[in-house]
Amino acid sequence: MIGERTLLVNPPLVGGIAFTRQGRCQEREEVLGTTKPPLTLALLASLLRERGHAVRLADLTATRQEIDDLIRALDAEGFLPTLILFPSTTPTLAADVAAMACLKARYDAPLFCFGPHASTTPVASMERAAAVDGMFVGEPEDGAVALAALGSLDELGSIASLTYRRGGDIIPHRAHGSFGGFLTAPMPAWDLLDLTRYRLPLVGRPYLIVETSRGCPYTCDFCVAPLHQGYKFRERSATALVDEMERVVREHGVKFFYLWGDTVTLNVKSFSAICEELIARRLDVRWFGNARADNLQDPAFVDRLKRSGCWMLALGIETESDQTRKDMMKRLESLKIRKALQNMRASGIKSFGFFIFGYPGETPAALERTTSYAIELDPDFANFYPAVPYPGTELYAKAKRDGLLVSEDWTRMEYSYYVMEGNGLNEQVVMEAINRAKRRFFLRPGYIARHAGDLAKLATSKWGVAWHIGSRMLLGAKVVDAVK
């Protein structure tokens, strides 16, 4: 079998910078104060072990190791991989492939990739990644399991979700991958990782991801989530989810969880069942996740979230303008945003608001209005991002069509840069507006007084991250390019 000895690798830092490569997320550590645990790699490890494959899992970003360190460890153990799998993203693809090519050369093992970028632009990515033998489009689990069971690379055509090389040609995928076993998936193989490496800012405690759902029925034009996992919403049962959390507490001693889904609270009825299960079992856990404001209109539901251990919810607010949200295909009204924040405050759940700067059609004045709106809403935490036209999204198509895109450099398609220009906006204008927004939001005397404890915890638990954020916000420090 190709996957007799499978090596799963989260690639190393890129130019000294840590990136998350998990699901749709492809941001620097400084954006959220953490790099997320590699859930997909851990799940793949569990699925492959169930089928008798020998598996090794290395998170080189978390351990701050290089490829040479991994090679020495594998050689010392005598583990010679016959298959190598790794996740990648739009901004890290070039660096990730360069690093992983060293493993391929060392062990003469085929190399395959998955992730949001592979899902949106597989052929173009393969053209730029000569060392990669194939890329999974969509969810990689079923395809990776099938790949590992093949007798030879001559059988790659049997995997419909794979874009792969045959001779000098790139053969496109025939179908979008969807994990058929998601609802009954085994617990990820967290035992293969050093879990002390994954710590939450503010609390400094280890945390893990538990996946609640996949797919997003919404059509926000800037988001890669439905391009990677589809639009069909699929959710696991309350019993399965809480069983997994209970097992993590028992076996690993972890009590903080990221309930992972693009909108975990989408189905109020089924998520209420999860809450009731958590309350009944008295696990003494804390959790956070992503939500939409229009799912948080019922005070009783929000209170139930709190009683089940909800610590914080992140909301994509994006802009002060209802019209701009409509242009983004984000169907969300201002009144519902205000009501959601009101309900969260009443229940004692921390709020984290996300705001996008520089969406096509906005002006410099619009960015200032969004900053004022964020201050008026006053979530517990906020982050301000430039609009990023990720390849494959409708925003990318719009930027190309309207002549707004000024760079096709994938390494700059992340939250540290702005790659569009028009209507008085360019990279300098937008990034300066973002730093100004952070100063106006976080340096308010009232905010500092209310959140002095949280700010102190961030500084002590994630000093390096806090310094990066503070130096850019206060001193205008230059972005460090993530280029090796």
Model confidence at 456: pLDDT above 90: no
Q: What is the dihedral of CA 398, 404, 407, 411, to 10 degrees?
A: -50
pLDDT of residue 466: 52
CA angle 36/40/41 to nearest 5° reads: 95
For 31, residues 6+ apart whose C-beta sits below 8 A from its C-beta are: 383, 385, 415
> Tokens 């050093």 — which residue?
194
What is the average pLDDT across 54-79? 98
Q: What is the DSSP letter of 5?
A: E
Distances in Å between the Cα of 362 and the Cα atoms of 289, 325, 328 are 29, 11, 12
Percent of the chain scoring above 70 in pLDDT: 95
Please state, in angstroms and rounded to a whole number, the distance separating the CA atoms of residues 397 and 141.
29
Q: What confidence category does residue 477 fall into, taking pLDDT thresholds of 50, 70 and 90?
A: low
pLDDT of residue 70: 98
Q: Which residue has the higher pLDDT, 84 or 476?
A: 84
Distances in Å between the Cα of 241 and the Cα atoms of 25, 72, 146, 278, 395 are 22, 38, 26, 9, 34
Please state, in angstroms and rounded to a whole number, the distance separating the CA atoms of residues 288 and 259.
6
pLDDT of residue 463: 53
pLDDT of residue 461: 59
Lookup: tokens for 218: 């919404």
Q: What confidence category does residue 457 fall into, taking pLDDT thresholds of 50, 70 and 90?
A: confident
User: Which CATH number does the domain 199-475 belong to among 3.10.310.70, 3.30.390.10, 3.20.20.70, 3.40.50.880?
Assistant: 3.20.20.70
What is the average pLDDT across 24-31? 91
Model confidence at 484: pLDDT above 60: no
What is the average pLDDT across 295-323? 97
Query: Other CB atoms closer than 10 Å to residue 419's CB: what's the count?
Result: 24
Percent of the chain scoring above 90 in pLDDT: 86
In this predicted model, what pLDDT tens digit does every residue of 200-249 receive, in sequence order?
988 889 999 999 999 988 899 999 998 889 889 999 999 999 999 999 99
Q: What is the DSSP letter of 263?
A: T
Query: Rounded to the nearest 5°, which phi and psi values hold at 316?
Result: -85, 95
How far is the first Cα of the chain from the last one, in angstroms, to the nearest whole number? 35
pLDDT of residue 32: 84
For 458, residues 6+ apart whose C-beta sits below 8 A from its C-beta are: 33, 201, 202, 465, 466
Q: Which of 130-139, 289-298, 443-452, 464-473 has the lowest mean pLDDT?
A: 464-473
For 180, residues 6+ apart whose C-beta sits below 8 A from its C-beta are: 142
Fold for the domain defined by 5-171:
Rossmann fold (3.40.50)
pLDDT of residue 404: 98
Model confidence at 121: pLDDT above 90: yes
In this predicted model, what pLDDT tens digit does every residue of 372-399 receive, in sequence order?
999 999 999 999 999 999 999 999 999 9
Q: What confidence category does residue 473 fall into, taking pLDDT thresholds of 50, 70 and 90?
A: low
Task: In the chain, count H helices and then E strands.
Answer: 20, 15
Nearest to 349 by CA among 381, 393, 396: 381
For 213, residues 6+ apart whose C-beta sits below 8 A from its C-beta are: 233, 234, 235, 236, 261, 262, 263, 264, 266
Please state, in angstroms and rounded to a whole number, the distance separating the CA atoms of residues 259 and 280.
18
Lookup: tokens for 347: 């229940």
For 423, residues 6+ apart whose C-beta sits below 8 A from its C-beta are: 360, 361, 362, 363
> Where in the chain are the domains?
5-171, 199-475
pLDDT of residue 475: 54
> Tokens 């229009």 — which residue?
294
In this predicted model, what pLDDT tens digit does every residue of 163-207 receive, in sequence order?
999 988 999 999 999 999 999 999 999 999 999 999 998 888 999
- Helix H or strand E encompassing 70: helix 67-77
Distances in Å between the Cα of 337 and the Cα atoms of 222, 302, 343, 370, 380 are 20, 14, 10, 14, 14
Q: What is the pTM of this model?
A: 0.94
pLDDT of residue 226: 87
pLDDT of residue 51: 97
What is the average pLDDT across 424-437? 97
Mean pLDDT of the chain: 94
